[in-house]
């Protein structure tokens, strides 16, 4: 029988929101799940597994943001040309505006993941 299946008992403890945030931050910094962190700290057991940390290459993501912005600029130029037409197709304009919104959303998500200030553009 696996180690997990032998564990049938639950221990609960009430904490303040600040204590919970501090605890979860310690778990994250240790690379452990909450249960494994408690087992290591309180029961002196080895953790079953380490939490996989995702490493981001800030340089690559910054370059990716640059590519997104380039595509957004190209799409914006197409939208300007269509707007100069006397009667652009409404469907085409909607598709371009949707594309621009999606590019802005991707850029903002990446900037947020990198810890940058996210401004509406």
pLDDT, tens digit, 9 for 90 and up, residues 20-63: 999 998 888 888 888 888 888 888 887 666 655 566 677 777 78
**Locate tokens 């949707």: which residue?**
98
Q: From residue 35, give the alpha-carbon distance in Å to each of 28, 81, 85.
A: 12, 58, 63
Q: Distance between CA 103 and CA 92 in Å, rounded?
A: 17
Rounded Cα distance, 118 and 121, in Å: 9
Per-residue pLDDT, averaged over 93-109, amounts to 81
Q: Would you say 66 and 114 are in contact if contact means Cβ atoms under 8 Å apart? A: no
> Does residue 2 surpass a pLDDT of 60?
no
pLDDT at res. 17: 93
Helices (H) and strands (E) in the chain, counts: 5, 0
Q: How many CA atoms lie within 13 A of 13 on its CB side?
A: 10
């Amino acid at each position: 029988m696996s180690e997990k299946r032998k564990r049938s008992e639950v221990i609960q403890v009430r904490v303040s929101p600040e204590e919970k945030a501090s605890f979860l931050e310690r778990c994250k910094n240790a690379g452990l799940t909450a249960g494994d962190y408690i087992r290591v700290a309180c029961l002196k057991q080895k953790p079953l597994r380490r939490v996989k940390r995702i490493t981001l290459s800030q340089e690559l993501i910054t370059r990716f943001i640059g590519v997104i912005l380039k595509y957004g600029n190209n799409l914006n130029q197409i939208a300007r040309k269509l707007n100069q037409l006397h009667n652009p197709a409404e469907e085409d304009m909607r598709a371009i505006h949707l594309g621009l919104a999606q590019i802005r959303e991707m850029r903002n998500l990446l900037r947020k993941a990198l810890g940058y200030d996210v401004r509406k553009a």
